[in-house]
A and B are shown apart, each in its own frame.
Chain A
Amino acid sequence: MSRPRVPPAAPEGPSGVDGDRRGGNGLASQVGEAGQSSPTTPPEAEGAFEIVAREDFSDTTYLLEVRHARLAQAARPGQFVIVMTHAEGERVPLTIADYDRERGTITMVVQAVGKTTREMQRRCRVGARLFSLVGPMGQPTHLGTARKVACVGGGLGVAPVFPQVRAHKERGAYVIGIIGFRSRSLAFWEEKFRAHCDELILCTDDGSAGLKGLVTDGLQQALAAHPDLGEVIAIGPPVMMRACAGVTRARKVKTTVSLNPIMVDGTGMCGGCRVSVGGQMKFACVDGPDFDGHAVDFDELMRRQRRFAEDEQLATARWLEACRLAQAPEAARPAEGLAGAVGGSTAAGRGPGTA
Chain B
Amino acid sequence: MTPKTIRTIPQERTPMPEQAPVERVRNFSEVALGYALGDARRESERCLMCNDPKCIAGCPVAVDIPGFIRKICAGDLRGAYDVLTGENLLPAVCGRVCPQEEQCEQVCTVGDSLAPVAVGRLERWLGDLAIEQGWANVPYREPNGYRAGIVGSGPAGIACAADLAKAGCEVIVYEAFQAPGGVLRYGIPEFRLPNSVIDAEINNLLKLGVKIECNTLVGRLFTIEQMLNELGFHAVFIGTGAGYPKFMGIPGESLNGVLSANELLTRCNLMQAGKFPQFDTPLHLGRRVAVIGAGNTAMDAMRVSLRLGAEKVYCVYRRSRAECPARAEELLHAEEEGVEFHWLTAPVEVLDDGRGNVRGLRNLRMELGEPDDSGRRRPVPVAGSEYEFAADMVVYAIGTNANPIIGQTSKLRLNKWGYIATDENLATSLAGVYAGGDIVTGAATVIQAMGAGRRAARSIKAYLGLVETDVVYRATPEMAERSFGVEPWAKNFARIRLAA
Question: Which A residues contact B (CB, under 8 angstroms)?
Answer: 1-4, 6, 8-12, 15-17, 21-25, 27-28, 31-32, 34-40, 43, 48, 70-71, 74, 79, 84, 88-91, 115-116, 131-137, 139, 264-272, 274, 276, 281, 283, 286-287, 300, 303-304, 306-308, 310-312, 314-315, 318, 349-350
- Which A residues lie within 8 Å of B220 (CB)? 74, 79, 135-137
CA distance A36 to B186 in the complex (A): 18
B100 within 8 A of A: no
From A15, A36, A136, give the contact of B143 (CB < 8 A).
A15
Q: Is the CB of A265 within 8 A of B276?
A: no
Max chain A CB contacts within 10 Å: which of B179, B220, B243, B256?
B220
Q: Is the CB of A40 within 8 A of B206?
A: yes
Max chain B CB contacts within 10 Å: which of A35, A131, A318?
A35
Q: Is the CB of A272 within 8 A of B284?
A: no
CA distance A311 to B276 in the complex (A): 9
Max chain B CB contacts within 10 Å: which of A12, A16, A139, A300?
A16
How many residues of chain B are within 8 Å of chain A by beta carbon?
79
- Which B residues lie within 8 Å of A12 (CB)? 143
CA distance A116 to B356 in the complex (A): 26
Question: Which B residues contact A (CB, under 8 angstroms)?
Answer: 142-147, 168, 170, 172, 176-180, 186, 198-200, 202-203, 206, 211-217, 220-222, 226, 229-232, 234-235, 241, 243-245, 247, 249, 253-254, 256, 259-260, 262-263, 266-267, 271-272, 276-284, 356, 396, 403-405, 408, 425, 427, 431-432, 462-465, 491
Q: Is the CB of B280 within 8 A of A88?
A: yes
CA distance A115 to B284 in the complex (A): 16
Q: Is the CB of A88 within 8 A of B279?
A: yes
Q: Is the CB of B215 within 8 A of A37?
A: yes
CA distance A27 to B277 in the complex (A): 40
Q: Which residue of B lies closest to A267 (CB)?
A: B176
From B144, B176, B254, give the contact of A11 (CB < 8 A).
B144
Q: Distance (Å) between the CB of A7 and the closest chain B CB?
A: 8
- Which B residues lie within 8 Å of A71 (CB)? 221
CA distance A7 to B74 in the complex (A): 47
Q: Is the CB of B280 within 8 A of A134?
A: no
Max chain B CB contacts within 10 Å: which of A32, A88, A135?
A88
Q: Is the CB of A35 within 8 A of B432?
A: no
- Which A residues lie within 8 Å of B231 (CB)? 23, 27-28, 31
Q: Is the CB of B280 within 8 A of A25?
A: no
Q: Is the CB of A8 within 8 A of B282?
A: no
Q: A264-B263, A270-B262, A271-B245 are in contact. Are A310 and B463 (CB under 8 A)?
A: no
From A16, A271, A272, give the contact of B232 (CB < 8 A).
A16
In order of increasing CB-CB distance, the 9 nearest A-B pairs are A23-B230, A8-B145, A311-B282, A39-B199, A21-B232, A270-B263, A90-B280, A11-B145, A271-B260
Q: Is the CB of A3 within 8 A of B260?
A: no
Q: Is the CB of B263 within 8 A of A315?
A: no
CA distance A37 to B179 in the complex (A): 7
Q: Is the CB of B226 within 8 A of A27?
A: yes
CA distance A122 to B247 in the complex (A): 40
CA distance A91 to B241 in the complex (A): 21
- Which A residues lie within 8 Å of B262 (CB)? 269-271
Q: Is the CB of B216 within 8 A of A15?
A: no
Q: Which residue of B lies closest to A38 (CB)?
A: B212
From B198, B212, B263, give the contact of A36 (CB < 8 A).
B212
Q: Which residue of B lies closest to A314 (CB)?
A: B277
Q: Which residue of A lies closest to B265 (CB)?
A: A270
Q: Is the CB of A308 within 8 A of B202?
A: no
Q: Which residue of A lies closest to B243 (CB)?
A: A269
- Which B residues lie within 8 Å of A27 (CB)? 222, 226, 230-231
- Which B residues lie within 8 Å of A115 (CB)? 277, 280
From B213, B214, B277, give the contact of A311 (CB < 8 A).
B277
Given A115-B280, A116-B280, A134-B177, 15 more A-B residue pairs with CB atoms under 8 Å apart are A1-B425, A3-B464, A4-B431, A10-B145, A11-B143, A22-B232, A23-B226, A25-B230, A28-B230, A39-B180, A39-B200, A90-B281, A91-B281, A137-B220, A265-B266
From B199, B244, B425, give the contact of A268 (CB < 8 A).
B244
11 contacts between A and B (CB under 8 A): A4-B235, A4-B432, A48-B215, A88-B272, A88-B280, A133-B215, A136-B217, A266-B217, A281-B247, A312-B282, A349-B278
Max chain B CB contacts within 10 Å: which of A6, A267, A306?
A267
Q: A31-B231, A71-B221, A134-B216 are in contact. Are A38 and B206 (CB under 8 A)?
A: yes
Max chain B CB contacts within 10 Å: which of A6, A27, A315?
A27
CA distance A286 to B144 in the complex (A): 38
Q: Is the CB of A267 within 8 A of B143?
A: no
Q: Is the CB of B178 within 8 A of A137?
A: no
From A21, A39, A134, give the contact of B217 (CB < 8 A).
A134
CA distance A281 to B251 in the complex (A): 12
